[in-house]
Amino acid sequence: MTSVDQHQRASFDALLRPHLDRLYRFAFRLTGVKPEAEDLFQDVLTKVFARIDDLVELEEPGAWLCRVMYNHFIDGRRRYARQRLVSVSEDQLPEKSLESLPGKLDPVRDVERLDNIMQLQRALDSLSDDHRLVVLLHDSEGYKLSEIQEITGDPVGTIKSRLHRARARLREILSADGTISSL
């Protein structure tokens, strides 16, 4: 390995390290499944490594990285939509278990927590892709509206509207099923 390659890897590592956790969480939020999130995360890192010169020039690379990931995710969904469907039998489906949850000190609390998480996930899944993305980026990941604008390419007014509607819809769904009490 040449010193140029080592320098390039070192600068890539230094630029990306502060953003890796947030970028992985974003991949997981987009896919909802750990193996797919890991694949998306790795694909984006590979893609970005080839564009390290663009990354070096950016003042705040976090939003740009999320934009690359979001575009890669959307491209993958479009490719998937064009693929033929293959049937899967029940024995090929992954099993969900309580063993994968952290904190096994109080089984009743853990079951209630799991139930709330599953209800929230169902409520999020019922939102449109645009609404779900905005509420996850803003409320879960803490992105500012301007950063979400950079990621999605939508005007801030549209983002505000989607965020308001998504929150209202989530409140409606979670109030109706008793997950939260009406305010």
CATH of residue 75: 1.10.1740
Residues 13-32 have a mean pLDDT of: 87
**For residue 145, what pLDDT band results from cuts at 50, 70 and 90?**
very high
- The structure's pTM equals 0.58
pLDDT at 26 over 60: yes
Same domain, 54 and 12: yes
Residues 30-44 have a mean pLDDT of: 90
Q: How many domains does the chain have?
A: 2
Mean pLDDT of the chain: 80
Greatest mean pLDDT range, 87-101, 121-135, 152-166:
152-166
Owning domain of residue 46 = 1-94
pLDDT at residue 85 in the model: 52
What would the two tokens of residue 68 be? 């690359």
Q: Whole-angstrom Cα distance, residue 171 to residue 165?
A: 10
pLDDT at residue 88 in the model: 58
Same domain, 21 and 103: no
Residues 150-177 have a mean pLDDT of: 92
pLDDT at 50 over 50: yes
pLDDT at 96 over 90: no
Same domain, 57 and 99: no
Residues 147-154 have a mean pLDDT of: 90
Instruction: Among 59, 94, 129, give the residue marking a domain's end.
Output: 94
